[in-house]
Amino acid sequence: MQYRTLGKTGQSLSIIGFGGILVRDVDSAEASRLVGRAIDVGINYFDVAPSYGNAQDMLGPALEPYRANVFLACKTTKRDAASARLELENSLRVLRTDHFDLYQLHAMTTPADVEQVFGPGGAMEAFERARDEGKTRFIGFSAHSAEVAVELLNRYPFASVLTPINFGIYLKGGFGPQIVEATQRSGAGLLALKAMAWTKLPEGLPREQRRWTKCWYEPITDPEIAQLALRFTLSLPVTAAITPGHAELFEMALPVGEDPRPLTPAERERLAQLAEQIDPLFRAA
């Protein structure tokens, strides 16, 4: 496994991250197997959130034996200080740890989200207090809006941003270049979601008809294209990419963690042609 430094934190993260959704709705034995597999191949970056079903409950016991040697990130969708503090404390308890390495404002989407978290009684008060008390080492955020991500990076010295960085979104949707530029300017680390996403699911498709029930999008299932897509993401100034929430797709990503070689011109052209065939999950406004 290869490693990269997260922004200005000095922390070295595995370039493949373990998304907590991998252990959602599995039994304890499978959760321990998946976490053990990740540790065995050198993954040290784990990310989870209360909104991922029972993922925290399953990850806590499975990760506990390795906690001292991993970088654990968690999130909250709460926008006010009191609720954010309560959710932080509960996540610490469930995940069996006394601190997070990274705590993130989750799913920042609108200008109203930005104003609320920075306003009086906003979540940032709880985040800074938690950092001062040693309950989180670093403060970051996740965002699915390029405009909001850039605004947050301009407003506060966040340690990191977790956001979709994917060839189709980037090349066809125009979503991503502005975030890359903002992180380079601010010194924040860039963590990638959706690197192995293909396109949107058909509108109205019932959950029971989806093969990949932990994905709200259609993932790339061809191993060659999936690895090309992941190498595209990691060819940018990205510290690490979190894989989709299914074990089969996680395994598909692992070879790239050892060999994230740059794309050749022919490979880049192939991805550009594929991007033209899809409806990207996100577009820049």
Per residue in 107-136, pLDDT (tens digit) is 999 999 999 999 999 999 999 999 999 999
- Residue 201: what pLDDT? 84
CATH number of the domain that 167 lies in? 3.20.20.100
User: Structurally, how many domains does the chain consist of?
Assistant: 1
Please indicate, yes or no, if residue 252 is contained in any of the structural domains.
yes
**Secondary structure of residue 48 in the 3-state scheme:** coil
Q: How confident is the model at residue 146 (pLDDT cuts 50, 70, 90)?
A: very high
C-beta of residue 159 within 8 angstroms of C-beta of residue 101: no
- Of residues 113 and 206, which shows the higher confidence score? 113
Please indicate, yes or no, if residue 256 is contained in any of the structural domains.
yes
C-beta of residue 48 within 8 angstroms of C-beta of residue 18: no
Please indicate, yes or no, if residue 127 is contained in any of the structural domains.
yes
- Residue 4: what pLDDT? 98
- Residue 285: what pLDDT? 83
Please indicate, yes or no, if residue 282 is contained in any of the structural domains.
no
| Helix-, strand-, coil-residue percentages of the chain, each rounded to 5 | 45, 20, 35
Q: What is the dihedral of CA 210, 171, 46, 36, to 10 degrees?
A: 60
Domain residue limits at 57: 3-275
Q: What number is the average pLDDT over the span 64-73?
A: 98
Please indicate, yes or no, if residue 194 is contained in any of the structural domains.
yes
Q: What digits encode the pLDDT tens for the residues 151-200?
A: 999 999 999 999 999 999 999 999 999 999 999 999 999 999 999 999 98
**What is the C-alpha to C-alpha distance for residues 86 and 28, in angstroms, rounded to an integer?**
26
Please indicate, yes or no, if residue 75 is contained in any of the structural domains.
yes
- Residue 211: what pLDDT? 78
Please indicate, yes or no, if residue 62 is contained in any of the structural domains.
yes
Please indicate, yes or no, if residue 285 is contained in any of the structural domains.
no
- List the beta strands (DSSP E) in the chain: 3-5, 12-14, 16-19, 45-47, 71-76, 100-108, 136-143, 160-164, 189-193, 197-200, 217-219, 240-242
Q: Is the pLDDT of residue 239 over 90?
A: yes
Q: How confident is the model at residue 137 (pLDDT cuts 50, 70, 90)?
A: very high
C-beta of residue 71 within 8 angstroms of C-beta of residue 45: yes
Q: Is the pLDDT of residue 97 over 80?
A: yes
- Residue 47: what pLDDT? 98
